[in-house]
A and B are shown apart, each in its own frame.
Chain A
């Protein structure tokens, strides 16, 4: 391709803030309306309350938007931060970025936790958090150069269209000699034309000498990015060591880093073998436990699932170190080299595919009735290159396929495409259409909540049926686990702040397999502790996988094995060593609780955040159709008889399906009551004044939002 064209429209040189104990104590704001570059200090008060990472993002966002702000208003901001512990080389999972914005799908703050080097490079360049707001008039690129201490905004033209090539071109453009110094954040054409655009965060793979990337996938932050006409944000920084973060106690940091990395190196080969298979080991496990989404979450297993699990991908993944942060011992970010797509603009070329992970295999494979690992690779490749979230893409197309098979939509609506389950060619065609902004793909790219409206209004589809089978909550598509037999995980999805993503709580096995939380109170306790602890990773700039995907050998002897208490202790030591603020396990939870409740109030500020928005489709609770009931009749009949003491002798499948539904919906409401109470919220799901006071987030503007909702 011809030379890219970058015309500088604004530049500043700055004095880089010294990093102290993991913090620069400065933020960077780029306002695209005026091409302004603004550096501000961050106060101690904000640091104490919001910690960093997602906490900083949310605070900046809160101040940027009003309750009326829509995703495509100029004041909507994209915030990217790392957190005080982010950028610690060698600490497993020690280099994540957390990205937030008001989501095009949900209208409330969305957050995404992503690998790649951008977050640490940006921090080491002098900024704990960056905020991008306004809208550029022309396509632009923002460059944060932590080596030359310079920030530039360029008007950009003649750029590659997709993220795959753009990341590569910009990496070499901004540091030809040392590409490892560069990390690029970019979207793609899919982000321009759908509501579930993702952001790709790059890093240089020194072993393979190529650019790799990970995705901030959820909620359409890439769509906001594209709407602002930002083509890329680039950070450049030089050598990184443990000292770069200037930790309070370097020796203590080395000690805890070594302990955690050593344990992973020793135990991962004996446990999930993530360094070899990533998260694809979950495919056979979920399948065997009836938790793998098949045909839009209708079924939980499929006899061909073995074709797309770890047994297949272990042999397909390219061998080599795959840490998406420097020295991460888990090294689970695998990829496939020399893949040759059979459709689309890269047809017949050799490309490198970053992935797939479990979510992509399940969402774009089994849930669509596709059991071909090569097709899943191609879907994965194009979703990333086009900048689209594989989870929303997969879950949305699965919904379309079920609607198609049930004649809710027909060939007339799909431009003649047969969208029955398993149709891999038309799945790929839909994805290309989404990226081009053409054809039926335009409608699918609006996400399930919008599709339901369009299908009902324009195509005469049955809204009640679509409400039952459309796997979205709060407007966000479900991630890829069947929750019918785990009430706790139904809450894990429905009561999650941003929508049904499993990063708040993953309780399926504890609840369904081990019956570890039999009462509502037990479940509510789990739906307090786990979301709080998982939130903490986002505050500090860390990946959660090293916490509980590899566990100490004696973990099973602990009274609460699911918490992996030894690792929680290590994280407290990690925090203490970097920041110099001594903390313990309870301290970590307290940090998160303040930010978690602040985010809930933020939802309220945006017009959501109450009980009516915490609902889930019935497909997530139980069998919608008679076919679905009959696929596990023995189980459901048993529950009606034994658990609910019903005489089902005279009942047909329809009546039994309805009876089960009534019971399960009641259970979900009782769970919701218990969780709200445990979290210190009203029965309508709003944090009480006593709760926000206890957590020290009783700022006047927070109390004002509560007051408007009748909570005083």
Chain B
């Protein structure tokens, strides 16, 4: 199991952030997530695997300076 913004989601082996986002609604503007406290940006979504029992926060649109 993993937690995505407080919601419990089924974990599967080798699940990447990109695969996870495909299963979620309203993630059009999600270009950064916090995976177990660490910031991961969209260019790394496909290659970043999510360990079991992870906590993921979807960050809103990046506003910059």
Whether, in the assembled complex, B19 has its beta carbon less than 8 Å from a beta carbon of chain A, the answer is no
B65–A506 CB distance below 8 A: yes
What does DSSP make chain B's interface, helix, strand, loop or mixed?
Answer: loop
A513–B65 CB distance below 8 A: no
Provide the B11-50 mask, 1 if CB < 8 A to any CB of A, else 0.
Answer: 0000000000000001011011000001111111000000
**With A556-B26, A557-B26 in contact, is A285–B41 under 8 Å at CB?**
yes
Partner of B61, one of A279, A502, A561: A561
**With A282-B64, A503-B65, A551-B61 in contact, is A513–B31 under 8 Å at CB?**
yes
Whether, in the assembled complex, A270 has its beta carbon less than 8 Å from a beta carbon of chain B, the answer is yes
Interface size class of B (residues with CB under 8 A): 20 to 34
- In the assembled complex, which residues on chain A have CB atoms less than 8 Å from the CB atom of B26? 556-557
A481–B65 CB distance below 8 A: yes
In the assembled complex, the Cα of A590 lies from the Cα of B29 at a distance in Å of 29
Whether, in the assembled complex, A59 has its beta carbon less than 8 Å from a beta carbon of chain B, the answer is no
A556–B63 CB distance below 8 A: no
Q: Report the minimum CB–CB distance from A46 to chain B (whole Å).
A: 31
Q: Report how many A-B pairs have Cβ atoms within 8 Å.
A: 73
Whether, in the assembled complex, A195 has its beta carbon less than 8 Å from a beta carbon of chain B, the answer is no
B63–A506 CB distance below 8 A: yes
Q: Considering only CB atoms, which chain B residue lies closest to A554 in the complex?
A: B26
Whether, in the assembled complex, A372 has its beta carbon less than 8 Å from a beta carbon of chain B, the answer is no
Partner of A270, one of B40, B57, B63: B57
In the assembled complex, the Cα of A310 lies from the Cα of B61 at a distance in Å of 18
Whether, in the assembled complex, A352 has its beta carbon less than 8 Å from a beta carbon of chain B, the answer is no
Whether, in the assembled complex, A525 has its beta carbon less than 8 Å from a beta carbon of chain B, the answer is no
Whether, in the assembled complex, A71 has its beta carbon less than 8 Å from a beta carbon of chain B, the answer is no
**With A284-B39, A284-B41, A288-B43 in contact, is A358–B65 under 8 Å at CB?**
yes
Partner of A556, one of B29, B41, B42, B65: B29
- In the assembled complex, which residues on chain A have CB atoms less than 8 Å from the CB atom of B40? 288
Q: How many interface residues does A have (CB within 8 Å)? A: 33
Partner of B42, one of A289, A311, A508, A551: A289
In the assembled complex, the Cα of A270 lies from the Cα of B3 at a distance in Å of 13
Whether, in the assembled complex, B4 has its beta carbon less than 8 Å from a beta carbon of chain A, the answer is no
**Most B Cβ at <10 Å: residue of A285, A311, A562:** A285
Q: Report the minimum CB–CB distance from A360 to chain B (whole Å).
A: 12
Q: Considering only CB atoms, which chain A residue lies closest to B30 in the complex?
A: A556
Partner of B63, one of A284, A288, A290, A549: A549
B residues sitting closer than 8 Å to A (CB atoms) are 5, 26, 28-29, 31-32, 38-44, 57, 59-65
